[in-house]
Amino acid sequence: MDSDEPRVIDIGNFRPGKPPIKVVLIGVLVLIGLAMAFSVVFTIQPEEVGIVLRFG
């Protein structure tokens, strides 16, 4: 800088850009996929009886 004075930055004029809709959509789909992946497995104890339900 040429002078010894500090720069003044006006953040009132700062406007963040819009995020790309494709990135947001992919992020939402990944979160839904992770939620589904963690909710489809259930562990039972050795003395319990379990059945496998597919599509229902």
Q: Which position has the higher pLDDT, 50 or 2?
A: 50
Question: Domain total for the chain?
Answer: 1
pLDDT digits (tens, 9 = 90+) for 3-52: 788 888 888 877 888 889 999 999 999 999 999 888 888 889 999 999 88
Render 1-56 in DSSP notation, one character per residue: --SSSPP---GGG--PPPPPHHHHHHHHHHHHHHHHHHHS-----TTS-----S--
Residue 34 lies in a domain: yes
| Cβ–Cβ under 8 Å, residues 31 and 38 | no
Residue 7 domain boundaries: 1-45
pLDDT digits (tens, 9 = 90+) for 44-56: 999 999 988 887 6
Residue 39 lies in a domain: yes
